[in-house]
Amino acid sequence: MASIIVLFELEQDEALGPDGVEPVVLAVHAAGADPDAPEDPLQRTLCGLDTDEMEHSHYRAMRPGDPWYPLPLADRRCRACEAALRAL
């Protein structure tokens, strides 16, 4: 897998509304990049969830050794996605 797309699993009832309330991130997942559209994720995350309802985070690790997830959301990273990344 050449690159990954970092996705946010958002609380179902939350949406960025006109009052500017940010949605609640439940979990941070990783998916492979679609070879035909590298900015788009594949259909499933590395842990097997459907990516259609997830939000693209637009996060990219800046240097080798940086985590695959945004540091402020470390406690919400998907451990199954992380295990799959380590196995690659």
> What tens digit of pLDDT does each residue of 44-53 get?
999 999 999 9
Note the pLDDT of residue 11.
86
* Edge-to-edge strand list for the sheet holding 25-34: 37-45, 25-34, 4-10, 55-56
The tally of domains found in the chain comes to: 1
Note the pLDDT of residue 13.
65
**In this structure, are residues 2 and 52 in contact, taking their beta carbons and an 8 Å threshold?**
no
pTM: 0.87
Parent domain of 66: 4-87
What parts of the chain have a pLDDT lower than 70? 1-2, 13-21
Residue type, 28: V
- The DSSP letter of residue 35 is T
